[in-house]
A and B are shown apart, each in its own frame.
Chain A
Amino acid sequence: MSAAPILSFDEVSYRYPGAEEAALQRVCLEMQEGEVCLLAGLSGGGKSTLLRAACGLVPHFHGGTFAGRVTVCGRDTREHGPAQLGAHTAVLFQDPETQLVMSSVRAELALALESRGQSPDVVARGVEEVALAIGVDHLLHRRTAELSGGEKQRVALAAALAGRPRIVLLDEPTSQLDPVAGEELFGLLRRLNQEWETSILIAEHRLERCLHLADRVVAMANGCVAHDGAPVSFLSWAGEHAEHLQTPAARLLQLSGVDAPPPTGVRQARSSLRARGLLPEDGSLAAPGPASPKGRRALAGLATRRLQRGPEPALRMRGVWHELKDGPAILRGVDLTLAGGEVVALMGANGAGKSTLLRHAAGLLEPTRGKVGSAGRVALLLQNPGDYFLHERVELEASTAAIERAGLAAMTQRNPRDLSGGERQRLALAIVTDSQQPPAVLALDEPTRGMDRGAKAALAQDLRCRAHQGMAVIVATHDPEFAAACAQRAVLLAGGSVIADASCAELLSGGWYFATETARILGGHGGALLPQQGAQAIADLAGVRSAA
C-alpha cells in the first residue's frame, strides 16, 4: 500500500471572481513525498492557479468559486488557510521584490518563525540553519534592497523554507534571473530534494533548464491536466500534441528522424546521436572564439567596423561611459553601431549594463562621457509592459491601426492590466512604436520574461518583420534560444564593456552559458543554433558519411 500523498487534487474546479471561464477544471493530481513534479503548459493554462490552490491562496485570498478538494500534508485547504498551510508549504513566485517584506535578510528569515509564535531560541536556530542550508549565511547582515535579483530569490526561498516545510511550490522562479542565477537556484532545489526529501512542484516555461530534475511532468492546458507522466513520456506526448512544449533537444532529435526515446538533456541527446554515428567528430564543446585578448578585441570591433563603412547607421554609440555620482561605472567606453534592418541581441549577466545601455540609446540617460546618435526616434520597451499603460481601456492606449497590428482588435474594451503577459507585451510594443514616423530603432529590455515558447516565437517573428521594414532592433535578453530565433548579431556585455560582438552563429554556438541547447548538443558544429538548423546539419553530416 502506498503512503498518503503529500499533495492531492480531487476533481478541483475554480473560477476567479468576475472571470467568464474556469481557471481549473476537474483537476485530479497526486504527488508523493520526495517527488519532483514539473508543471508545463502555455500561459493561461492554469499552472499558477494550481500552485495557488496548493498553498491555499485559492480560494482564501483570491475568492472566486471553488469546487473539489485539495489536501496538503493531510490538511484540507477548505478548512486551513494559507497561514496555517504555510507551516508545511513553501511558496516562491516569479518576482523576488514582492516576496521580501523586511529590510534586512536576518529579519526576513526570522519573520515566518516569529509569526508562528516560535520561541526566540527556535527562531535564532532556524535562521542560522536555513541560511547555511541555502547558502545565504554571508547575506545575513545585508539589506534586502541591496541584493541582486538572484540573491533576492535565494533569500525569498530561504525565508519560505525557514519553517522546514515538506513541499515547495515554485511559480517560474527563474523568469527574472540570468542563466547563472537560474542554474544556481535549480542546483539548490536538487539539494533540497536529495538531502531532505523535500517534495517540489515547479511551474516553468523553459523546460530544458529543469527537466533533468523532474520525476514527473504534468502538462496543463485550458485549466485541465492534459498529460501526466515521466519526462520521456511527456516529451513523446509533446512531440505529437504540443510542439511548443517540446525542448530543443527533443525537437532536434525528432526533426532529425532519430529513432530513440526523446532526450531530457544534452547528455542523452549526444549519446543518442553518438550511438547512431550522427554526432560530429569534433563534437566536444567548442572554444568560445579567439583565445587571446587581442583576438577578442578584434572580434568585438569587427561587426562595428563593418557597419561604419556602410550607409548612415540607425544608432551609433561612441565611447559611452555611465559613471554613477557616488558609485561605480555601469558602462565603460561602449562602442556600438546598429544598421537599419538589423536585429541585435544584447546579452550578459545581471548587472552587466544591458538596461543602462538601452536607456542611453533611447535618450533616457545622458552619458557621462562619449556620444550617442541615431537616425531617428528610438522606441524603448522597458522590462515591465504594465509601466506603459495609462488608460482604463486598450483602445485609448494606441491608435486603432497599431492595436490591430498587435492582434488586439478584439480586446479594445478591456482594461490593459487584465490582459495576459504576452498580450500586455504586444500592447506595450504597439504603444512605443505608434507614431506617424516609424522609429529608426526599436530597443527591447528583456521582453520574454515569463513568456511561453509560443509567445516568444510570435515576438521573434514580429521583430524580424519590423527589421525587414528597415527598423534597427536591439533586444536585451538572457534567452539564447530567443536570441538565435530573432537576431543575426549578438553583443556580449560584461562589467559595462562589450567583450564580444559577432554573428549569433559565432557567439551562441561556442559559449558555455550563452549557447543554445542545440549548439551544446552539436558542439557548435556548423554554427547550428536552433533545432531546425541542427537537424539540417545532422542530415548534411549523414549525407557526407554515407557518401564516404
Chain B
Amino acid sequence: MTGALSYRPSASPLHAARATVGACWALSLTIAVVVIDHPLVLVSIGVACLTASFAVGVGRQVARALRVALAIGVPLVIINVLVSREGLTVFARLGNLGPFGQGDLTVESLVYGLVIALKVSIVILVCALGSLAVDPDELLSACRRISFRSALTTSLTLRMVPLLAVDAQNLAQAQRTRPDAATMGSLRRRALLLAASVGGALDRALDVAATLELRGFATAGRVRRRRRPLSRHDLAFAGSAAGVLVLTLAVRLSRAAAFHAYPLLRVSTSTATLGFCVAIAAVALAPFLSRRGIEPR
C-alpha cells in the first residue's frame, strides 16, 4: 500500500534530475508564490505546476490535491471577508456587530481573500508534485550528511507509516471476523483495537530496531558526499529554479506586475505583466522539453 501523495517512480525529466535539484526547483516555485501577490502571475505559476504534473505523469494525483486546497481556501476567503476592515467598496452591510464594530463586507477583502486562497492552493500543488516526483530516500540520503540519525529516522517513518497502515487494516479485518464483534460496544471495540494496534506497532518497532542494529546503526558515522557528474536534467532544473527566483525578484522590484488590494483594488494588466506571466511559466516548464537520457521505469 502506498499513500496518495507518496513518491511514484516514473520516466520523467523531474524524476531523472537528482533529488536535491528537484527539491530546489519546487522550492523556487514555492518562494515565487509566497513573494508574488499578483493574481495573474500566481495563476500562471499554478498552471505551470499542473502542466508539469501531467508531464511527470502524476497529474491526476496532483489534481486530487486541489480538493484539499479547496477545503482550506474557502474558509480562508470567508474569514478574510469577515475579519478585514479594509477596503472601500462595500458589497454587503451586516450592521453593528458590537465589540467587532460595523460589519461591512468589501470587494477588496473578498479579492484579497481569494488571492491568499490561491497562494495556499498553489503551494499545496507544488508540495504534492514535489512529494510525488522527488525521491525522498535520495533527498534524505543527502540530509544524512548533515544529521545521520534524524534523516534515518525520517526515512524509517516514511517506510513504516504505510506498513503500519497495512497492519492496522489487517487487524481491523481480523476483528471484524470475530464472532463477538457485533456484541462488543463500538467504543470499547475501538479502544481495544487501538491498544492492539499500538502493541503491534511496538512489535514491529522492535524487529526493525534489531535490523538497524545489525546494519551498523550503532556505529554509524558521518556519511561522505558522493561526487556525481551533473546530468542535463540537473542543469536544466537548477537553471530553471534560478530563473524563477530571478523573475520573482524582478516582479517584486518592478512596478510592472503591481497588485494592491487595499484601500481600492489596483491590478496591473500591462503587457509587461502578461510578459512576466508567460516568462515565469516558460522558465518553470522549460526543463520538461528535453527527454534525453531518461531511464525507462
> Is B truly associated with A?
yes
Chain A residues engaging chain B, CB cutoff 8 angstroms:
55, 57, 60-61, 81-84, 86-87, 89, 91, 93, 95, 97-104, 106-107, 110-112, 114-117, 119-121, 123-124, 141-146, 159-160, 163, 359, 362, 364, 377, 379-380, 382-384, 386-391, 417, 431-435
User: B275 on the interface (CB 8 Å rule)?
Assistant: no
A431 touches B207 (CB 8 A): no
Select one of A101, A115, A384 contacting B208, CB under 8 A.
Answer: A101
Residues of B within 8 A of A384 (CB): 170, 174
B159 touches A389 (CB 8 A): no
Q: Whole-angstrom distance from the CB of B202 to the nearest CB of chain A?
A: 10
Beyond A110-B141, A114-B223, A417-B199, 20 additional contacts (C-beta under 8 Å) are A61-B209, A83-B217, A95-B207, A101-B208, A104-B137, A106-B137, A107-B141, A107-B155, A115-B215, A117-B221, A119-B224, A120-B224, A120-B226, A120-B227, A141-B9, A159-B215, A384-B174, A388-B174, A390-B175, A433-B179
A99 touches B216 (CB 8 A): no
Q: Whole-angstrom distance from the CB of B137 to the nearest CB of chain A?
A: 4
Residues of B within 8 A of A60 (CB): 213
Bound Cα distance from A435 to B183, whole angstroms: 12
Bound Cα distance from A39 to B250, whole angstroms: 72
B216 touches A87 (CB 8 A): yes
Residues of B within 8 A of A98 (CB): 204, 207-208, 210-211
Residues of A within 8 A of B9 (CB): 141-143
Bound Cα distance from A121 to B226, whole angstroms: 7
Bound Cα distance from A548 to B180, whole angstroms: 64
User: B73 on the interface (CB 8 Å rule)?
Assistant: no
A-B contact pairs, 11 of them (CB 8 A): A61-B213, A82-B213, A98-B207, A107-B141, A117-B219, A145-B162, A145-B163, A146-B2, A379-B177, A382-B177, A387-B175
Residues of A within 8 A of B217 (CB): 83, 115
Bound Cα distance from A417 to B180, whole angstroms: 20
Residues of A within 8 A of B97 (CB): none
A101 touches B215 (CB 8 A): yes
A382 touches B214 (CB 8 A): no
A91 touches B212 (CB 8 A): no
User: B136 on the interface (CB 8 Å rule)?
Assistant: yes
Residues of B within 8 A of A104 (CB): 135, 137-138
Q: Whole-angstrom distance from the CB of B162 to the nearest CB of chain A?
A: 6
Q: Which of B134-183 contact A (CB under 8 A)?
A: 135-138, 141, 144, 155-156, 158-159, 162-163, 170-171, 173-180
User: B47 on the interface (CB 8 Å rule)?
Assistant: no
A112 touches B216 (CB 8 A): yes
Q: Whole-angstrom distance from the CB of B67 to the nearest CB of chain A?
A: 17
User: B193 on the interface (CB 8 Å rule)?
Assistant: yes
A55 touches B214 (CB 8 A): yes
User: B94 on the interface (CB 8 Å rule)?
Assistant: no
B156 touches A145 (CB 8 A): no
B137 touches A91 (CB 8 A): no
User: B225 on the interface (CB 8 Å rule)?
Assistant: yes
Question: Could you say which of A100, A145, A384, A435 has the most chain B C-beta atoms within 10 Å of its C-beta?
Answer: A145
Bound Cα distance from A159 to B171, whole angstroms: 29
B174 touches A86 (CB 8 A): no
Bound Cα distance from A417 to B135, whole angstroms: 37
Bound Cα distance from A60 to B214, whole angstroms: 11
Residues of B within 8 A of A146 (CB): 2
Bound Cα distance from A417 to B196, whole angstroms: 10
Nearest 4 interchain pairs by C-beta:
A120-B226, A98-B207, A387-B174, A83-B218
Residues of B within 8 A of A99 (CB): 207, 211
Bound Cα distance from A80 to B86, whole angstroms: 70
Residues of A within 8 A of B200 (CB): 386-387
User: B297 on the interface (CB 8 Å rule)?
Assistant: yes
Q: Whole-angstrom distance from the CB of B119 to the nearest CB of chain A?
A: 30
B192 touches A391 (CB 8 A): yes
Q: Whole-angstrom distance from the CB of B17 to the nearest CB of chain A?
A: 15
Select one of A97, A362, A389 contacting B177, CB under 8 A.
Answer: A362
B226 touches A123 (CB 8 A): yes
User: B72 on the interface (CB 8 Å rule)?
Assistant: no
Residues of A within 8 A of B144 (CB): 114
Bound Cα distance from A226 to B152, whole angstroms: 43
A364 touches B2 (CB 8 A): no
**What range describes how many residues of B lie at the interface?**
35 or more
1/0 per position for B274-294, CB-CB distance to A under 8 A? 000000000000000000000
Q: Whole-angstrom distance from the CB of A223 to the nearest CB of chain B?
A: 21
Question: Could you say which of B135, B138, B159, B196 has the most chain A C-beta atoms within 10 Å of its C-beta?
Answer: B159
Residues of A within 8 A of B222 (CB): 117
Q: Whole-angstrom distance from the CB of A168 to the nearest CB of chain B?
A: 12
User: B74 on the interface (CB 8 Å rule)?
Assistant: no
Residues of B within 8 A of A160 (CB): 214
A81 touches B218 (CB 8 A): yes
Q: Whole-angstrom distance from the CB of A418 to the nearest CB of chain B?
A: 12
Residues of B within 8 A of A116 (CB): 216, 219-221
A101 touches B226 (CB 8 A): no
Knowing A120-B225, A145-B162, A387-B171, the reply to whether A61 touches B210 (Cβ < 8 A) is yes
Select one of B1, B156, B196, B204 contacting A389, CB under 8 A.
Answer: B196
User: B79 on the interface (CB 8 Å rule)?
Assistant: no
Bound Cα distance from A388 to B199, whole angstroms: 12
B137 touches A103 (CB 8 A): yes
A86 touches B214 (CB 8 A): yes
Q: Whole-angstrom distance from the CB of A437 to the nearest CB of chain B?
A: 9
Residues of B within 8 A of A389 (CB): 196
A103 touches B136 (CB 8 A): yes
Residue of A nearest to B212 (CB): A101
Q: Whole-angstrom distance from the CB of A125 to the nearest CB of chain B?
A: 11
Bound Cα distance from A93 to B195, whole angstroms: 26
Residues of B within 8 A of A55 (CB): 214
A388 touches B178 (CB 8 A): yes
Residue of B nearest to A378 (CB): B177
Q: Which of B1-31 contact A (CB under 8 A)?
A: 1-2, 7, 9
Residues of A within 8 A of B220 (CB): 114-117
Bound Cα distance from A141 to B15, whole angstroms: 11
Residues of B within 8 A of A95 (CB): 207
Residues of B within 8 A of A86 (CB): 213-216
Bound Cα distance from A434 to B156, whole angstroms: 39
Select one of A107, A121, A362, A380 contacting B138, CB under 8 A.
Answer: A107
A101 touches B159 (CB 8 A): yes
Knowing A103-B155, A123-B226, A390-B193, the reply to whether A83 touches B141 (Cβ < 8 A) is no
Select one of A91, A120, A141 contacting B214, CB under 8 A.
Answer: A91
Knowing A101-B208, A103-B137, A390-B193, the reply to whether A141 touches B295 (Cβ < 8 A) is yes
Q: Which of B242-297 contact A (CB under 8 A)?
A: 295, 297
Q: Whole-angstrom distance from the CB of B148 to the nearest CB of chain A?
A: 8
B7 touches A103 (CB 8 A): yes
A143 touches B155 (CB 8 A): no
Bound Cα distance from A147 to B279, whole angstroms: 42
Q: Whole-angstrom distance from the CB of B134 to the nearest CB of chain A?
A: 12
Knowing A141-B297, A143-B2, A432-B178, the reply to whether A97 touches B214 (Cβ < 8 A) is no
Residues of B within 8 A of A119 (CB): 224
Q: Whole-angstrom distance from the CB of B61 to the nearest CB of chain A?
A: 10
Bound Cα distance from A509 to B181, whole angstroms: 41
